[in-house]
Chain A
Amino acid sequence: MSRSVDAAAEIAPGRGALAAIRRGAGLARAVLAPSPPAMAGAALLAIHVGLAVFGPALAPYQYAQFNILHTLEAPSREFLAGTDQYGRDQLSRVMWGARSTLLLATASTLLGVSLGVLVGMLGAFYRGLVDEILMRVVDALMALPALLLAMLLLTTVGANPVYVALGIAVVFMPRSARVVRGVALSLAVSEFIDAARARGEGGLYIIFCEMLPNAWAPIIVEVTIRFAYAILLATSLGFLGLGAQPPAPDWGLMINEALPFLAQAPWLAILPAAAISTAVVGANLLGDALREALALGRVGEAP
C-alpha cells in the first residue's frame, strides 16, 4: 500500500504528450505491480477491449444471421454457446456486442465527467451567483435516482444508443460536478492560483491550465468509478428495452430476450451475463486499486 503511494507521488509533473505517457506508465506501474486484484482487473478489461476491437472479425457468424434449422439449440461444436429462437449464434452475438457496450460506456463516462469537471470548476472558481445557479441545477438533477433520470431523458427522444450515451452523461454530470467542485474549492484558495490572478491571467486560463492539471488524480478516480457504473446503467437500459433495439447484439437486450426461454434454453442468458459481469468486475477491480494507489480511498460514493 505505502509502496504504491510512494510510486504515485514520484510521478513527475509536466506538460506535453511525452510527460503524459510517462505519467500514465508510472501510474500503471504503481497501481498494477503491487496488487494481484488490479492485474486481474486489467486482464479482464484487456480481454473486453480485445473483443471490442477484433470480436466482429473473429466471430464465426454474423450477429443477425438466422439459422431456421437450428433454433434454441444447446451449445454444440457448430454453435459453441448455443442458438436463440431464430437460430442466431449466441457466441457471435456476444462477440459483436462488446464493441457497442464498451464504446457506449466510454463515451458516456468521458462526456459526463468532462461536463462535471467543467461545471464543478466554474462553480468553485467564480463562486457567488454562478456557483449558486450551477449547484441548484445539480441538486435538481440529483433529486432523481440515476436510472429514473436516464429513463426520463430517453422518453421522447426515443431508444437509440447515441441518446443512451447522452442520457448517461447527463446522469453523471451532477455527481462528478460535486466531487470536482469539492477538490477545486480547496485548489482555488491556494497560493499558485493567487499568483496567477496577480499575473492577470484570465479565468478560463486559470481553470484549465492551473487548476485542472492539479486535480487530475481525483478526476481519474471519478472516471474509474463512473466507467463501471456506466456499463451497469447502459446494460440495464438495454435490458429495459430503452437502449439498442432488436436485432442489435446488445448484451442487456439479449438477456431481456432470453427471459421467456429461460426454462428450456438457459445458455441464452449465461454468456451475455458473464460478459457484462466480467466487464464490470474488471473495471471495479482496477478502479479500487487505482483509488488505493492514489490514497483517496473513500468508499461511500453517492449513486
Chain B
Amino acid sequence: MRVVAFVGRRLLLVALVMAIVSVLIFGVVQILPGDVAVMILGTSATPEDLAALRVKLGLDRPAPLRYLDWIGGTVRGDWGTSLLYQVPVRPLVLERLGKSAVLAILALAVAVPLAIGLGVVSALRRNRFLDQAVGLVTLVAVSLPEFISGTVLILVLAFRFPIFPPSSLIDPRVSLWSAAPSLVLPTLTLVLALLAHMTRMTRASMIEVLEKPYIRAARLKGLRLRLVILRHALRNALLPTVGIVAINVGFLIGGIVVVESVFAYPGLGRLMVDAVNHRDVPVIQMAALLIAVTYALANLAADLFYAYLDPRIRY
C-alpha cells in the first residue's frame, strides 16, 4: 500500500514538472522573438498572406488561449497537423518515437553491461596499465561528438571495409528485422558515447566503495578478493550505477538526435531537426513534449528501481 502511495506521489510530481515543461516548450517556441508566419512564408510575403496564415495557425489569438487549445487538444488526442508534411501529427511522431526507441534500447542493452564490467575492472586495476588504457580511450570517446564518431565509423566500416551499410534510410515496407545490418553503425556510435560516460562513472563509484571500511573488514577476515567484490563491493557500487544510467538517458537522447541525422535514420530526433529547420511548429511542440515525458519517465523508473535496490530508502 505504501508502495502505491510512493509511486503515486512520484507520478504526481512528474505530472507537475511536465505541466511546467509544457508551458516552457510552448513559450520558447511561440513567444520568443521571431514571427512564425514570417519564418514560414519568408520576408517577401505580402501582409495579406501573413495575416491569413496567422489566422490559419490561430496566431491572432492571445497566447494563453492558444496554450490551452494546445494542451486541450493534446489531452484529447488531437495533436494537430504537420505544416511540413500535411499529415496528422500523432501517428507521425508516435511511429518515429518507436523507431528511436529501438535504437535507444539496443544501445543501452549493449552499453550498460559492458560499461559496468569495464568500470569495475578499471577500478580494481586502479592506475595500472589496463586502467590507464581504458581511461585514455574513454576520455577520447567522451570528447568525440556523435557526429564525428559516426562519420569515422562510416569511413572505416562502410567505405574502407564495406561490412555495414553507411545509411539507415530504411524502406518502410521492409520489416525492421531485415533492416538489422543498417542498425549496427548507429547503435555502435551511441554505444561508444554511452560506454565512455558510464565506464568513467562506474569506475569512480567502485573506487569509492572499495575504500569503505567494510571492504577492508571483509578482506581482513580472510575473504577471497573475488568474493569481496561479488558479494560486497559490486552490490553497493551498482546503486549509483542505476543513477548513472538515468543521467545518461539525457546524453542518449541528445546523441540519438545527432546519430539519426548522421545515418538518415527515420526516428523522432531527425523528425525534430527537420521540423526545427522548417518551423513545423505543431511537430516541434509534440516531439519536444514526447521526449521530455520519456526523459521524465526514465528518471522515475531509475528512482523507483533505486528505492527497490536500496533497503535504506523507505517509502
Contacts and interface: CB of A to CB of B under 8 A. Distances in A.
Interface hub of A252, A269, A270, A303 (most chain B Cβ within 10 A):
A303
Given A239-B258, A273-B151, A281 B143 contact: yes
A18 interface: no
Contacts of B261: 239-240
B142 A284 contact: yes
Nearest to A139: B17
A236 B258 contact: yes
B200 A240 contact: no
Q: Is the interface of B mostly helix, strand, loop or mixed?
A: helix
Contacts of A154: 276
Q: Is the interface of A mostly helix, strand, loop or mixed?
A: helix
B32 A156 contact: yes
B20 A139 contact: yes
Given A144-B24, A152-B288, A299-B204, A277 B143 contact: yes
A283 B139 CA distance: 11
A241 B250 contact: no
B144 interface: yes
Contact of A152 (B25, B146, B148, B277): B25
Contacts of B139: 281, 284-285, 288
A53 B251 CA distance: 32
Interface in A261-299: 262-263, 266, 269-270, 273, 276-277, 280-281, 283-285, 288, 297-299
Interface in B246-273: 247-248, 250-251, 253-254, 257-258, 261-262, 272-273
A302 B146 CA distance: 18
A152 B247 CA distance: 21
B250 A153 contact: no
Contacts of A74: none
Contact of A240 (B29, B240, B273, B284): B273
Contacts of A232: 143, 145
A148 B254 CA distance: 7
Interface hub of A148, A156, A236, A299 (most chain B Cβ within 10 A):
A156
A136 B20 CA distance: 9
A259 B151 contact: yes
A120 B295 CA distance: 24
A146 interface: yes
Interface in B1-47: 17-18, 20-21, 23-25, 28-30, 32-36, 39
A228 B140 CA distance: 12
A9 B295 CA distance: 41
Contact of A276 (B148, B272, B295): B148
A129 interface: no
Contact of A143 (B39, B148, B201, B295): B295
A262 B166 contact: yes
A239 B143 CA distance: 16
A141 interface: yes
Contacts of B142: 284
Interface in A116-139: 136, 139
A155 interface: yes
Contact of A299 (B18, B29, B166, B200): B200
A158 B34 contact: yes
B168 interface: no
Interface residues of A, number: 51
Interface string A24-50: 000000000000000000000000000
Interface stretch (B75-83, B84-92, B100-108, B152-160): B152-160
B306 interface: no
Contacts of A285: 139
Contact of B284 (A136, A155, A252, A303): A155
B28 A143 contact: no
B290 to A, nearest CB: 11
Contact of A262 (B155, B243, B253): B155
B71 interface: no
Contacts of B302: none
A158 B250 CA distance: 24
B251 A235 contact: no
A209 interface: no
B147 interface: yes
A134 to B, nearest CB: 13
B24 A146 contact: no
A268 to B, nearest CB: 10
A168 interface: no
B166 to A, nearest CB: 7
B247 A255 contact: no
A263 B258 contact: no
Contacts of A300: 201, 204-205, 240, 243-244, 247
Nearest to B21: A143
Contact of A255 (B25, B148, B291): B148
Interface of A: 136, 139-141, 143-148, 151-158, 228, 232, 235-236, 239-242, 252, 255-256, 258-259, 262-263, 266, 269-270, 273, 276-277, 280-281, 283-285, 288, 297-300, 302-303
12 contacts: A145-B254, A145-B295, A146-B254, A147-B258, A151-B276, A152-B284, A155-B32, A158-B39, A262-B151, A262-B154, A300-B204, A300-B243
